[in-house]
Amino acid sequence: MSGTETPLIESGQLAAELSGPEPPTLLDVRWRLAGPPGRDDYAAGHLPGAVFVDLDTALCGPPGAAGRHPLPDPAALQAALRAAGVRAGHPVVVYDGGDGMAAARAWWTLRWAGHRQVRLLHGGWPAWLAAGLPTSTEVPTPAPGDVAVRPGALPVLDTAAAAALAAADEGVLLDVRAAPRYRGEMEPIDPVAGHVPGAVNLPAPQYVTDGRFPSAEALRERFAAVGVTGDAPVGAYCGSGVTAAQAVLALHLAGRPDAALYVGSWSEWVADPSRPVATGETPRP
C-alpha cells in the first residue's frame, strides 16, 4: 500500500496536508453505541474544516432484519457524502473519538462504495489533541461534492456466505467480540447469546489497543495464530458490523485486502431463529 491507499495517517502528517494546496476532505464520525450522539462532541470542538457525518443515519441503513447497522442505500449514501463535500478522486480522512471503530466503519463504507482515497486518522481525536494541534467550533459549509457511489468495491458476506466460510476448513470467519459473548455466557445487546458455528474468536483488543494498531508483522502473527494464513478466505463479524470493520482494516494492514466483512454480523444472524447457534470456547459444538 502506498500514497492515499495507505489506510492510516498520523496527526502530524494530516496537519501538514491540511496546510497544503489540496487538503483532504475531513469527516468527523464520532459515535458511541449507547450514546450520546457524536454530534454533541463535534459541536464542542473538532478538527478545523471537518464535517460531521452520522454513522447511524448516513453511513448505515435503518436497523432491522439485516442487522443493527446494515449497508446503506447507495443513493442515500451518495447524497450524504456529496453534502459533506466528498469529491471523486479527492482524498478523504475520517476520524472518531479514539477507539477507531466508527472511523473504521466509515473507511470501510467509503471503500466499499468505490472511493479508494480514504484514510483513518490513527488515534483519532485524542491523538490530534495530544499533538497540540488546533481545533475549532466553526461549522464549515463545504462545496457540494460529486462522488459517485459504486457499491461492491470491497467484499461483503451475507448470512449464507458467512455460514459457508465458518464451515469451510480452508477459510476463517473471525468473531471479534469479547470472549464471554462468543462463548454465550452473556449478551448485552442482541436477543440470543453465542456465535456462528465454526467461527473463531479473536477479541478486538488482541489486534488493536486504544484505537492504535501494531506493526504489519505483529498483525500477521496475531491473525496467523487463529488460522489466518496464506491466501485462504477470511471474513470478520461482530455484533453489528462496526468493530468487525476495524478487523477488516487490520487485515488490510496485515496484507489481506481481500478480507470480507459480514455487515449484518450477529445482530442479523440471530434475527432468524432457524439459524444455528454455537456456545462454548470451541468454534463448533
Where in the chain are the domains? Answer: 3-130, 156-269
Distance spanning both ends of the chain, measured CA to CA: 39
- Going by pLDDT thresholds of 50, 70 and 90, the confidence category of residue 36 is confident
- Going by pLDDT thresholds of 50, 70 and 90, the confidence category of residue 5 is low
**Segment 129-136 mean pLDDT:** 98
**Segment 234-256 mean pLDDT:** 98
Neighbour count for residue 227 (Cβ, 10 Å): 16
Instruction: Report strand pairing: 118-121 vs 92-95.
Output: parallel
- Going by pLDDT thresholds of 50, 70 and 90, the confidence category of residue 2 is very low
User: How far is the C-alpha of 218 from the C-alpha of 204, rounded, in Å?
Assistant: 14
Catalytically annotated residue among 238, 244, 248, 250: 238
- Going by pLDDT thresholds of 50, 70 and 90, the confidence category of residue 34 is confident
**Segment 20-41 mean pLDDT:** 94
Entry pTM: 0.96
User: How far is the C-alpha of 209 from the C-alpha of 242, rounded, in Å?
Assistant: 16
For the chain, give the percent of residues with pLDDT over 90. Answer: 94
Cα-to-chain-centroid distance, residue 141: 26
Same CATH fold, 156-269 and 3-130?
yes
Look at residue 246 and tell me whether its pLDDT is greater than 80: yes
Per-residue pLDDT tens for 165-194?
999 989 999 999 999 999 999 999 999 999
Give me the chain's average pLDDT, please.
Answer: 96
Cα-to-chain-centroid distance, residue 8: 13
Look at residue 4 and tell me whether its pLDDT is greater than 80: no
CATH class of the structural domain 156-269 = alpha beta
Predicted confidence at residue 3, as pLDDT, reads 37
CATH class of the structural domain 3-130 = alpha beta
Does 238 participate in catalysis according to the annotation? yes
Predicted confidence at residue 32, as pLDDT, reads 92
176 and 204 Cβ atoms separated by less than 8 Å: yes
Predicted confidence at residue 1, as pLDDT, reads 38
**Segment 263-285 mean pLDDT:** 95
Cα-to-chain-centroid distance, residue 217: 21
Neighbour count for residue 232 (Cβ, 10 Å): 14
Residue at grid coordinates 462454548: 280
